[in-house]
Amino acid sequence: MLNILFWVFVASASIQFIFFAIVSIAFSVYKKPEQENYTIPGISIIISAKNEFDNLKSLIPILLKQQYKNFEIILVDDNSSDETYDYAINLDHKEKKFKLVRIDETPDHINNKKYALTLGIRAAKYDHVLLTDADCFPESEYWIQQMSDGFTSDDKKFVIGYSQYYTKPGLLNRFITYETLLTGVHYVGVGLLGNPYMGVGRNIAYRKSFFLENKGFGKFQGVVGGDDDLLVNHFAKKSNSTFVLSQESTIYSNPKLTLKDFTLQKTRHLSVGKHYRKADKLLLGILSFTKIVFWVTSIAVIMSVYRTYFVLAGFFLVMVSLLTALLLLKKKTGDNSKIWMLPILDFIYIFYYISTGLRVLFTKKVRWR
C-alpha cells in the first residue's frame, strides 16, 4: 500500500513540477507587446455599476487623468438607488470624455451584468473597448496606453490583462491575494503557451465589432457571471489574443473582507468553469486533482516514514517550481502580494478548493450577491 502511495505521489508531483516549470519558462521569455506600424483610433472604457457611488467618485477622476490621446468613459448605471446617477449625470454634462447609459429595468430573461455591459459596448464610440469594474483602480496613468498596445494588428480581437487585490492585514487577505496570483499563473501561463482559456473582466479589452458579430454574451446569457472568462473561453485563440503584463497595466481591486463574501464570490467563479470547453475542463481538472493528490500522498507517505528523503526532495522541487512561477508573474506585473507563507497558503488552498468545489456541485442556483 505504501509503495502504491509513493508512486502516486511521484506521478502527481511530476505533473505539478512539469507544469510550473514550463509556465515559468513562458513567463521568462515573455515580452510586452508594443505598437509599431499599427495604431488604433481610440478606445472606450466600459464600466457597469450598481450602487457604486463611493468607488466611482474615486475611480472616474483617475481614469480622466489617463495619458492617452483618444478615449471615452462609458458608465452603465444599472438602476442604482444611491447617488450614482446624480454623480454620473453631472459628469455627463461637463466632461466630454464621459458618457452615461442608464438602465431603469432589465428584461427578465437576461442577466443584469451582461445586459449592462452589452448596452455599454453598443454605446461605444470606438471599436476597441476596455472593461473594468467600479471597485478597480489602475496604479498607473498609462493603463489605457499599455492595454491598447496589445492590439498590434487587425487580427487581434482580445487583449487580456492582469488584476490583483489590495493587500490588507490578516490571513484571509493573504490567502485571497495568493489564490488570485495562483489563478493568474494558470490562466496567464497557459495563455502564453497558446491556449487563452479565460480572462478577468476587471482588466480586459476586445473589439466591439467582434463582440457584436458573435452575438456577444448570447451563448451564455443565462449563466450567472462569466461575462469575462466565458467570452474568452469560447472565442479567444492564440492567433487573435494578446496578454499584456506590466506594472503599468495591472489593475487593483478591493478584496472581500469576510469569509462568507469571499466564498460566495469564488463559488460563482468556479461555477462558470462548468461551461468551459471540454479540453480546458480536462486540463484544469488534471491540475487541480494532482495538486490535491500531491498534498495528500506527501503527508501520508512522510507520516508513514516511507522513503522520506525521496518524498521531501520531490516536495521541495514542486514548491520551488511553484515559487518560481509565482515570483516571475509578480515581477512581470508588479503584483504586491506576499507569498513568504507559500507552503501554508498552498495547503489552505486544497481545503478551499475542495469545499468550494463541493459547494458548486450541490448548489442548484448560484447567486450574484
Q: Where are the domains of the chain?
A: 2-28+278-357, 31-180+195-255
Tell me the pLDDT band of 358, cut-offs 50, 70 and 90: confident
Compare 261 and 10 and report the one with higher pLDDT: 10
- Cell matching residue 62: 483617475
Rounded Cα–Cα distance for residues 315 and 295 (Å): 9
Question: What whole-number distance in Å separates Cα of residue 187 and Cα of residue 199?
Answer: 7
Q: What is the mean pLDDT of residues 69-92?
A: 92
pLDDT band with cut points at 50, 70 and 90 for residue 367: very low
When mean pLDDT is compared across 35-44, 166-175, 238-247, 339-348, the lowest value belongs to 35-44
- Output b/e per residue, 265-283; b: 16+ Cβ within 10 A: bbbbbbbbbebbeeebeeb
* Residue range 327-337, pLDDT digits in tens: 999 999 999 99
The string of pLDDT tens digits covering residues 104-127 is 877 777 778 888 899 999 999 999
Res. 10: pLDDT tops 60: yes
The average confidence (pLDDT) of the chain is 89
Q: What is the CATH number of domain 31-180+195-255?
A: 3.90.550.10
d(CA 243, CA 321): 22
Contacts of 340 (CB under 8 A, 6+ apart): none
Average pLDDT over residues 143-151: 94
Q: Using one digit for the tens of pLDDT, what is the confidence trace for 176-227? A: 999 999 999 999 999 999 999 999 989 999 999 999 999 888 777 667 666 7
Is the model more confident about 156 or about 37?
Answer: 156
Q: What is the pTM of this model?
A: 0.91
Task: Name the β-bridge partners of 130.
Answer: 45, 205
